Structure 1
Amino acid sequence: MTAHPAVPRDAAMADIREMLIVHRVFRREFAALPGAVRGVAVGDRTRARIVAGHARLIMEGLHLHHSGEDVELWPLLERRVQTRADVTARMEAQHGELAALVTEVGRLLPDWVESAAHPEPLAEVLESLQAVLLVHLGDEEAEILPLVTEHVTAGEWARLGEHARRGMRPAELPLMFGAVLEECDASERAMLVATLPFPLRLLVRPVIEPVYRRYIAKVRAEVLQ
């Protein structure tokens, strides 16, 4: 196991604001999914495919978010804050429970898309997933993020974001970043855009945001003005 020395006194510490925004995005999107599934007209397979594709995108984002914590964060905290090993163990157990529910959603999606009928089994699992996720996000914000601000450096924290970006397909990046920007106020937006490499910053307004707006309008069945 790699040793993690104590944090140097002059080290810049983790800024948890981005994770709080990402948590808000997950709350928003998972809250909407059961209703989106139930709202598909019987036999409308085109609409079912759109909703299912969005569900898969958001679940992949959740998987990458959690796998980054599993790989980068829990081992670090367990070594630096040994007295709170029970907390990280609980977070890992919640990740396992959520992963099982995500797997069940993935099992149900193909048949639902094929028929565009009988939405209740899928919608009910999505509601269970949302309920467990809300507890997990609340626990993480109350018990893990205070430890992060005290025991994790900015460089170590950045590895979680790098893990997620490496795991995304190129076509997913503007959709996920657009979903996060949608949740931001002006100061949060400026903070997040500043974290991007300079060439990508130039693409936010002309490319990333229009791509996301067109995508999410389809998901929400909105008409762009």
Structure 2
Amino acid sequence: MTGQKTTPTDSRDMYIVHNMLRRAFGELPALVRGVEDGSERARTVADHARLLVAILSTHHEAEDEVLWPILMERCPAELTPMVATMEEEHQQLHTLLDTVSERAEKYSVTASAGDREDLARATEAVVGPMHGHLVGEERNILPLIDRYCTDEEWASVGEHGLPQLTPTQVPLVFGMMLRVATEDQRAVLAAHIPDEVLSQMVQIAPDALNAYERTLHGFDTSERPR
């Protein structure tokens, strides 16, 4: 079946996820390099790198497993020229993310200067390709989502990764998202999340993020510019 859906969605909340990823991966190389040799923070920072890998990987899995099939059914002529590029970029990023995971695992054990630099370089290698991929999605895929997906279908894409987060990680990730969201984007997000869930997250997520970052950075980051 092709043609426009009668109740199209608003995919601008995707910018929240993308900007969260841009910020988090953009900060990661310096965060890694800021750990002292042999510090116990090495494991904490390595675990943070692996969390970001999991978030980005899950984001791509939701697109591959949930979003592409919907769009391929609704608008194959418009989507087909882009799918091969998107999937190729996903594979390239997954290869880079596997390297980050491997080096994070090693660094979490050794906390050595050499393994720290290997991890920092691996995270740097992700930033450029990820940014280019996200820009392509925003330019080419979001208009198709707005035209052909319903609110319920778009919400199912966002919900795909929730079961893979621990109860502790859910408010943390929400905190990372809310920190980068504009007021307009928050309004779009609110339209796709049950009121009781969003209100709870707005209450607890900022504190969860601040507590997490105090451990991650080794000092209180709550006064840093957002």
Q: 1:70 aligns with which of 57, 64, 87?
A: 64
Is the alpha carbon distance of 1:78 and 1:202 closer, same or farther for their aligned partners in structure 2, counting shifts above 3 Å?
closer
Deviations 1:12-65 (A, max 9, x none): 212111101110000000111111111111111x21112112111111111111
Conserved? CA contact 1:7–1:153, under 8 Å: no
Deviations 1:127-185 (A, max 9, x none): 11111101110111111111211222222111111112222222210111110011123
Map of 1:143 onto structure 2: 140
Deviations 1:86-136 (A, max 9, x none): 201211111111111111111111221222221222111111111110111
Alignment of 1:12-31 (within 5 A): 12-31=7-26
Q: 2:96 aligns with which of 91, 95, 101?
A: 101
Conserved? CA contact 1:13–1:152, under 8 Å: yes
Map of 1:81 onto structure 2: 75
Are residues 1:123 and 2:117 paired?
A: no
Structure 1 vs Structure 2 CA RMSD: 2.0
| Identity %, equivalent residues | 34
Tell me the TM-score normalized by structure 1: 0.88
Conserved? CA contact 2:47–2:104, under 8 Å: no
Is the alpha carbon distance of 1:190 and 1:14 closer, same or farther for their aligned partners in structure 2, counting shifts above 3 Å?
closer
Unaligned runs of 5+ in 1: none
Unaligned runs of 5+ in 2: none
Map of 1:169 onto structure 2: 166
Tell me the TM-score normalized by structure 2: 0.88
Secondary structure at the residue paired with 2:35? coil
Secondary structure at the residue paired with 1:100? helix
Q: CA deviation at 1:190?
A: 4.5
Is the alpha carbon distance of 1:147 and 1:194 closer, same or farther for their aligned partners in structure 2, counting shifts above 3 Å?
closer
Alignment of 1:146-225 (within 5 A): 146-193=143-190, 195-223=192-220
Map of 1:33 onto structure 2: 28
Q: CA deviation at 1:85?
A: 0.7
Conserved? CA contact 2:13–2:186, under 8 Å: no
Is the alpha carbon distance of 1:193 and 1:158 closer, same or farther for their aligned partners in structure 2, counting shifts above 3 Å?
closer
